[in-house]
Homo-oligomer: A and B are copies of this chain.
Amino acid sequence: MTSHRIAVIPGDGIGREVVPAARAVLDAVAARHALGLDYVEFDWSCAGYLREGAMMPPDGLDLLRPFDAIFLGAVGDPRVADHVSLWGLLIPIRRAFRQYVNLRPARLFPGVEGPLRTDAPIDLVVVRENVEGEYSEIGGRLSRGFPDEMAVQESVFTRPGVTRIVDYALALAANRSGRLVSATKSNGIVHTMPFWDEVVAERAENSVVEVTREHIDALCAKVVLDPGRFDVIVGSNLFGDILSDLAAAVTGSIGMAPSANLNPEREFPSMFEPVHGSAPDIAGRGVANPIGAIWSAAMMLDHLGHPGAAAEIVGAIAATLAEGRVRTPDLGGEATTGEFTDAVVAALG
């Protein structure tokens, strides 16, 4: 029996509700496919921070390193500053384990009424650069608190960093539609974005993929006006973040969006997490949509070498949505997280 060791970090808020949902589906699928999944739970969260003063122990990253994958719910709490919670857990994991690809698919499932009038199929993937770019620690303040205060922040793009994400996106596009859209803003952001464009153009030259370039402002508009035309979109850390939430919205709900933070070279564990946050506004009521987490679990199985089991999970999500009887409130239904999860498990076989 193939078996995998999974580090599980439920985190905060609805993270603690959708992680058990994903585990229930994983367990059911593992039983059907004779997979061993050994979970070790790490109770690292903002609640823990408020008790102990740290998001994770000093050797937290060392504890995670031996695992085959990391499964995260969500971190964030209104009482804890984001730079503490996110930069104390999520961002260090992405960076320490060189998870430079953030893969974020979005699909309009039959049976889901998205916000757009069009019923044209939507099935796209945002390939987000995940470790450099606009999310940088470089910067600071001049004259803090004084009238002439200013703040600066440096975006950093490296040739190896842009090359590897573009190559990943090109390979993915070659296996899908053969088309790739690159998000840029080189008409306004005149140093880093022209550099991004140059690397994209160079890599595109040696590829069969047809690459087009869109400025992020116009691209966001097109994702709303004609989402069906997009297949694979590659973007920087910030642009990929924006585009993936937007893509999730046009397919119905942020609650459905999954993500894989991948270290494609497999030097380190990759991390899987729903795109949504801890959602303090609905936490504790058992109504969170677990699709983002369950679909992320499918992406994890795929990464671990079990594409059949992964496809079975996505198929069960699709079947449950198509059937339409059981849905969480964000999709217009009345089901709880648990009821929806049970329906997905029932749809597996």
Q: Which of A126-151 contact B (CB under 8 A)?
A: 134-135, 137-141, 146-151
8 pairs of A and B residues whose beta carbons are closest in the complex: A139-B191, A82-B187, A151-B195, A221-B249, A217-B245, A153-B192, A149-B159, A153-B191
Contacts of A305 in B (CB 8 A): none
Contacts of A244 in B (CB 8 A): 217
When C-beta atoms are compared, the residue in chain B nearest to A221 turns out to be B249
Write the residues of chain A forming the contact surface with B, with a CB cutoff of 8 angstroms: 76, 82-83, 86-87, 113, 115-118, 134-135, 137-141, 146-160, 185-196, 216-218, 220-222, 224-225, 237-238, 241-242, 244-246, 248-250, 253-254
A156 to B141, CA, bound (A): 10
Nearest CB on B from A117, distance (A)? 5
Asked if A134 contacts B189 (CB within 8 A), the reply is yes
Contacts of A154 in B (CB 8 A): 139, 152-155
Contacts of A159 in B (CB 8 A): 146-150
Nearest CB on B from A53, distance (A)? 20
Nearest CB on B from A52, distance (A)? 22
Q: A152 contacts which of B140, B155, B160, B250 (Cβ < 8 Å)?
A: B155
8 more A-B residue pairs beyond the given contacts A217-B245, A220-B245, A224-B224, with a C-beta to C-beta distance below 8 A: A138-B152, A150-B158, A152-B154, A152-B155, A152-B157, A153-B154, A220-B246, A224-B250
When C-beta atoms are compared, the residue in chain B nearest to A185 turns out to be B238
When C-beta atoms are compared, the residue in chain B nearest to A240 turns out to be B217
A107 to B249, CA, bound (A): 20
When C-beta atoms are compared, the residue in chain B nearest to A246 turns out to be B220
When C-beta atoms are compared, the residue in chain B nearest to A85 turns out to be B187
A117 to B221, CA, bound (A): 16
Asked if B191 contacts A216 (CB within 8 A), the reply is no
A118 to B117, CA, bound (A): 8
A196 to B151, CA, bound (A): 9
Asked if A134 contacts B241 (CB within 8 A), the reply is no
Nearest CB on B from A150, distance (A)? 4
A149 to B86, CA, bound (A): 29
Nearest CB on B from A300, distance (A)? 23
A245 to B225, CA, bound (A): 11
A117 to B220, CA, bound (A): 18
Nearest CB on B from A4, distance (A)? 30
A138 to B190, CA, bound (A): 9
Contacts of A196 in B (CB 8 A): 151
